[in-house]
């Protein structure tokens, strides 16, 4: 008992990993704040609202496909690699948006490249937190998801300042630089599992029973059939669906 207390680190590294997950979650702001640019794009290019909004639709479609691949990469490889690649894609995609002159360029830069960059904003935090925390797991998951709201708030203020003073192009440059920077910062502290740091998950005892339980949790496999009938998954899906509907409703101004 006394040896365990002496060997136990004064600070659990998993809290730094959790902070990194919050930073990764902030990248979701690239999806949720697109509506800020809609009026600016319509005013400059004279596109219809339907055409301008379809850029965001393409982004979400590509993201939904890329998220499956991102989840697989997170499970098989170190999430740090995925975060760095995503930072380059997201930051680069947003930066290129600032040079757009045609709608097909926005489809490519924001609809495809930036969407690939946001593919890790949900899967990395949820997957990594599951590995690092047994005790207080629900609290840790809740904290990790705070990044999504924080990102939307911060990016809205950032872009909301730049657009009136310098134009939407400078605004999207600033957003890309900001998101790229925080993702690179997150990669420095990210670790896929406690074993990389020679640790056990938070709340785990050094017993055979607990280790077996941990292995079972980490190796648990969901089939597609079992997933689509799971009430918790359906609840999460419904939450995302109605969130998107609410965004559409609140962004309508009658034009």
Which tens digits make up the pLDDT trace of 167-217? Answer: 999 999 999 999 999 999 999 999 888 988 888 888 876 544 455 555 555
Place 73 in a pLDDT band, splitting at 50, 70 and 90.
confident
Count Cα atoms within 13 angstroms, Cβ side, for 166.
Answer: 12
Residue 87 lies in domain: 14-220
Q: Is residue 124 part of a domain?
A: yes
What pLDDT is recorded for position 220? 58
Q: How many angstroms separate the Cα of 73 from the Cα of each of 124, 197, 221, 245?
A: 10, 20, 15, 30
For residue 88, is pLDDT > 90?
yes
Q: Output the average pLDDT for the chain.
A: 82
Which tens digits make up the pLDDT trace of 34-60? Answer: 889 999 999 999 999 999 999 999 998
Q: Is residue 230 part of a domain?
A: no
The tokens of 109 are what? 């830069």
What pLDDT is recorded for position 75? 73
* β-bridge mates for residue 202, sequence order: 133
For residue 245, is pLDDT > 60?
no
3-state secondary structure at position 202: strand
- What CATH number does residue 113 fall under? 1.20.1250.20
Q: Is residue 254 part of a domain?
A: no
* β-bridge mates for residue 133, sequence order: 202
What pLDDT is recorded for position 144? 86
Q: Is residue 189 part of a domain?
A: yes
The tokens of 88 are what? 């380059």
What pLDDT is recorded for position 232? 64
CA–CA gap between residue 97 and residue 59 (Å, rounded): 13
Which tens digits make up the pLDDT trace of 227-239? Answer: 677 766 676 666 6
CA–CA gap between residue 253 and residue 255 (Å, rounded): 6
How many domains does the structure of the chain reveal?
1
CA–CA gap between residue 210 and residue 182 (Å, rounded): 35
What pLDDT is recorded for position 242? 57
Residue of 222 and 143 predicted with greater confidence: 143
Q: Is residue 227 part of a domain?
A: no
The tokens of 161 are what? 């300042």
Q: Is residue 79 part of a domain?
A: yes
pTM over 0.85: no
For residue 137, is pLDDT > 80?
yes
Which tens digits make up the pLDDT trace of 148-176? Answer: 888 888 888 999 899 999 999 999 999 99
For residue 218, is pLDDT > 90?
no
Which tens digits make up the pLDDT trace of 55-65? Answer: 999 998 999 88
Which burial class, exposed, middle or buried, applies to 206 when counting CB atoms under 10 A from its CB (0-12, 13-18, 19+)? Answer: exposed
Q: Is residue 34 part of a domain?
A: yes
Q: Is residue 139 part of a domain?
A: yes
Pair 224, 37: CB distance under 8 Å = no
């Amino acid at each position: 008992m006394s040896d365990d207390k002496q060997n136990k680190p004064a600070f659990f590294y998993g809290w730094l990993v959790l902070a990194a997950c919050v930073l990764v979650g902030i990248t979701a702001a690239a999806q949720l704040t697109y509506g800020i640019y809609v009026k600016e794009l319509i005013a400059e290019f004279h596109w219809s609202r339907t055409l301008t909004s379809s850029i965001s639709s393409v982004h979400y479609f590509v993201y939904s496909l890329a998220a499956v691949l991102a989840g697989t990469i997170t499970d098989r490889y170190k999430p740090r690699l995925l975060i760095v690649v995503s930072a380059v894609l997201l930051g680069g995609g947003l930066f290129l948006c600032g040079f757009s002159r045609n709608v097909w360029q926005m489809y490519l830069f924001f609809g495809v490249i930036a969407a690939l960059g946001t593919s890790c904003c949900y899967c990395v935090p949820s997957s990594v937190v599951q590995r690092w925390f047994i005790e207080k797991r629900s609290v840790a998951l809740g904290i990790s998801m705070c990044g999504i709201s924080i990102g939307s708030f911060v990016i809205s203020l950032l872009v909301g300042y730049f657009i009136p003073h310098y134009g939407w192009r400078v605004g999207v440059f600033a957003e890309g630089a900001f998101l790229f920077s925080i993702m690179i910062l997150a990669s420095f502290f990210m670790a896929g599992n406690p074993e990389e740091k020679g640790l056990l998950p938070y709340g785990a005892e050094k017993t055979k029973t607990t280790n077996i339980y941990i292995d079972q949790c980490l190796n648990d496999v969901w089939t597609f059939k079992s997933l689509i009938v799971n009430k918790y998954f359906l609840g999460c899906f419904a939450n995302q669906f109605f969130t998107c509907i609410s965004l559409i409703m609140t962004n309508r101004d009658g034009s």
